[in-house]
């Protein structure tokens, strides 16, 4: 990618305002600022880097096409993560197959990863499995909070929920993760 | 969750103040929260502060082995992150997972950027969302007017209920149609609960039944099938347009339902003022049932249509 444009110094909202007026460098600055984090988020959310690449493209195309829906006074980052989350949900909804369903007949939370096995693959898988076992309502706030550095207010904005509701979900998710990872903790402690 | 627990959540990324550390030490919920939080990616080599007090830290299990990002392959230096301004979210710690994101395919990213810029160049100025609502409402108006002119060529206002009742129910339907269009297409910061839409639809339905004339002007089957067919025909154009416009944002069943009820409401409004039959069974099967069925069809079709954008 090219070097950061001059516009890169502005705040997200200033850049968004200029981008909404058709300013390509402002879009470029937003893209350079958020393309990698969004792709990382989507990669964690879907479990597939290849899917994440496609969804990142859809996210930024949506940003361009739907910028008329961006409301004055709103924050850009939660809006962008909302678009990315919607794209991932849509992808999951359209690509589910009967054989993908869990024994309980429910939709699995993520696809199988298509990356090569990293080092410490066992631990990596354990943590991924633990995250995958969380319901989407708890997993998405945790991914946004723990891995993307979003505050609870921003997550609430992105998910269209109240901040209290997001905190309750995240709290339950973290508590559940502790339970799910407890056996691994014991193993590593030994 | 107590207010203290909420404060603990707000301080997850840094050391807890003494009063919160004391609270967390004695609160099972907070212990579970903190341990779950750190199980994903704890501070590395003591670089980042532990939000737990030392008394809790001793009890905490060894977490270094559970680093998600340790296992993830490192990508090149996160230049983009460095360029980012400070966010309102919790500050990123050294060793926090975000800086070790999954590998990035630069070529694909460049393709994304190029495509986006091409799209931007093709349409430099955005279409404001309210224009879609306006287009839909104008379409409703035209379809309603033409529909009433066609079905009412031998008499437009044949509803024999008291005129103030007819007008009151008609206004309620108009409000429902307008509100549904707005709810379906306007960008909202909060998701509307399904119950609110269902309650609104139920209110409109009950008002129609309560304001019925009770007159049976035509044989039941003929009258009911006639009204049912008219309502379906009058709903085709508004429904099709609503579906096209709904695809300009992310799929949400509640939005699709609201837009479906709204667009099918145009035909129901025409029937309300024009139809001479005012029996409850006729209204339920000839007016209300197709209205709700068409809204269900709208949700079904929208769920199968591809979204042009995923904006909320």
Contacts of A133 (CB under 8 A, 6+ apart): A109, A176, A180
Best of B96, B120, B134, B247 to substitute, by most chain A Cβ atoms within 10 angstroms, is: B120
For domain A116-190, say whether CATH 1.10.10.10 is its number.
yes
Distances (CA, A) of A32 to A6, A69, A145: 12, 22, 21
Q: pTM of this prediction? A: 0.80
pLDDT at A127: 79
Distances (CA, A) of B44 to B31, B92, B162: 20, 13, 77
pLDDT at B174: 97
- Alpha-carbon gap: A107 to the closest alpha carbon of chain B (Å): 16
B249 vs B154: CA distance, rounded Å = 42
Q: Which residue of B has its CA nearest to A171?
A: B33
pLDDT at B223: 95
pLDDT at A106: 47
Nearest Cα to A150, choosing from B240, B75, B89?
B89
Instruction: Return the ∠ at Cα B37 (arms to B33 and B38), rounded to 5°.
Output: 120
Q: Is A36 on the interface with B (CB under 8 A)?
A: yes
Contacts of B83 (CB under 8 A, 6+ apart): A4, A8, A32, A33
Q: Is B104 on the interface with A (CB under 8 A)?
A: yes
A170 vs B3: CA distance, rounded Å = 15
User: What is the SS3 assignment for B114-166?
Assistant: HHHHHHHHHCCCCCCHHHHHHHHHHHHHHHHHHHHHHHCCCCCCCCCCCHHHH
Please report residues of B whose CB lies closer than 8 A to that of A20: 126
pLDDT at A97: 57
Q: What is the pLDDT along chain B (312 residues), one digit of tens a residue?
A: 788 888 888 888 778 888 888 888 888 888 888 888 887 764 333 333 333 333 333 333 333 333 343 333 333 332 233 333 334 444 333 334 444 556 778 889 999 999 999 999 999 999 999 999 999 999 999 999 999 999 988 888 889 999 999 999 999 999 999 999 999 999 976 777 899 999 999 999 999 999 999 898 899 999 999 999 999 999 999 999 999 999 999 999 999 999 999 999 999 999 999 999 999 999 999 999 999 999 999 999 999 999 999 999
pLDDT at A8: 59
CATH code given to domain A1-112? 1.10.1740.10
Say if the Cβ atoms of B33 and A126 lie within 8 Å: no
CA B111 to chain centre: 30
Contacts of B240 (CB under 8 A, 6+ apart): none
Give tens-digit pLDDT for B44-53: 333 333 333 3
Inter-chain contacts counted by CB atoms under 8 A, chains A and B: 271
* CB neighbourhood size of B132 (10 A): 23
Q: Counting Cβ atoms within 10 Å, is residue A24 exposed (0-12), middle (13-18) or buried (19+)? A: middle
End-to-end CA distance of chain B: 29
Q: Which residue of A has its CA nearest to B28?
A: A175
Return the half-sphere exposure (C-beta side, CA atoms, 13 A cut-off) of residue B304: 5
Best of B35, B191, B310 to substitute, by most chain A Cβ atoms within 10 angstroms, is: B310
Q: Counting Cβ atoms within 10 Å, is residue B153 exposed (0-12), middle (13-18) or buried (19+)? A: exposed
Boundaries of every domain in chain A = 1-112, 116-190
Give tens-digit pLDDT for B199-227: 999 999 999 999 999 898 899 999 999 99
Please report residues of B whose CB lies closer than 8 A to that of A89: 250
What residues of chain B, 130 to 169, have a C-beta less than 8 Å from chain A? 131
Distances (CA, A) of B224 to A29, B200, B250, B262: 60, 24, 37, 21
Q: What is the pLDDT along chain A (190 residues), one digit of tens a residue?
A: 554 555 556 899 999 999 999 899 999 999 999 999 999 999 989 988 999 999 999 999 999 999 999 998 899 999 999 999 999 999 998 887 554 545 544 445 554 444 444 545 666 777 788 888 899 999 999 999 988 989 999 999 999 999 999 999 999 999 998 888 877 766 666 6
Sequential DSSP letters for B192-231: PPHHHHHHHHHHHHHHHHHT------S-HHHHHHHHHHHH
Q: Which residue of B has its CA nearest to A28?
A: B113
Complex confidence, ipTM: 0.83
């Amino acid at each position: 990618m090219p070097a950061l444009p001059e516009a890169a110094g502005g705040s997200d909202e200033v850049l968004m305002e200029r981008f909404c007026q058709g300013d390509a460098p402002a879009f470029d600055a937003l893209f350079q600022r958020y393309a990698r984090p969004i792709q990382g988020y989507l990669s964690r959310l879907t479990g597939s880097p290849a899917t994440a690449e496609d969804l990142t493209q859809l996210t930024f195309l949506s940003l361009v096409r739907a910028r008329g829906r961006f409301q004055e006074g709103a924050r850009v980052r939660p809006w962008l993560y909302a678009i990315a989350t919607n794209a991932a949900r849509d992808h999951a909804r359209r690509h589910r197959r009967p054989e993908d369903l869990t024994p309980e007949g429910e939709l699995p939370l993520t696809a199988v990863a298509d990356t090569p096995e990293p080092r410490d693959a066992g631990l990596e898988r354990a943590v991924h499995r633990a995250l995958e076992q969380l319901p989407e309502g708890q997993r998405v706030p945790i991914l946004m909070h723990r891995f993307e550095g979003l505050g609870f207010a921003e997550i609430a904005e992105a998910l269209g929920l109240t901040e209290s509701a997001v905190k309750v979900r995240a709290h339950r998710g973290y508590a559940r993760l502790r339970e799910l990872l407890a056996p691994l903790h014991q193993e590593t402690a030994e | 969750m107590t207010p203290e627990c909420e404060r603990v959540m707000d301080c997850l990324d840094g050391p807890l103040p003494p009063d919160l550390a004391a609270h967390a030490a004695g609160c099972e919920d907070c212990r579970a929260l903190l341990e779950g939080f750190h199980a994903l990616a704890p501070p590395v080599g003591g670089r980042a502060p532990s939000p737990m007090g030392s008394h809790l830290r001793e009890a905490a299990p060894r977490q270094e082995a559970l680093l998600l990002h340790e296992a993830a392959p490192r990508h090149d230096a996160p230049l983009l992150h460095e360029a980012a301004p400070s966010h309102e979210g919790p500050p990123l710690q050294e060793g926090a997972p975000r800086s070790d994101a999954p590998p990035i395919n630069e070529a694909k990213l460049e393709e994304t950027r190029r495509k986006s810029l091409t799209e931007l160049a093709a349409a430099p100025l955005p279409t404001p969302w309210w224009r879609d609502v306006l287009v839909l409402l104008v379409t409703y108006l035209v379809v309603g007017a033409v529909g009433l002119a066609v079905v009412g060529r031998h008499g437009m206002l044949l509803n024999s209920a008291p005129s103030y009742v007819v007008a009151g129910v008609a206004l309620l339907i108009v409000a429902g149609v307008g509100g549904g269009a707005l709810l379906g297409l306007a960008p909202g910061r909060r998701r509307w609960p399904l119950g609110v839409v269902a309650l609104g639809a139920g209110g409109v339905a009950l008002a129609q039944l309560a304001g019925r004339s009770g007159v049976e002007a035509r044989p039941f089957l003929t009258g009911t099938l006639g009204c049912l067919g008219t309502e379906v025909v009058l709903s085709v154009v508004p429904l099709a347009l609503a579906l096209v416009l709904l695809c300009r944002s992310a799929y949400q069943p509640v939005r699709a339902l609201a837009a479906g009820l709204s667009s099918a409401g145009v035909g129901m409004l025409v029937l309300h003022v024009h139809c001479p039959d005012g029996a409850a069974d006729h209204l339920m099967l000839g007016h209300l049932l197709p209205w709700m069925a068409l809204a269900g069809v709208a949700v079904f079709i929208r769920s199968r249509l591809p979204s042009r954008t995923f904006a909320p």
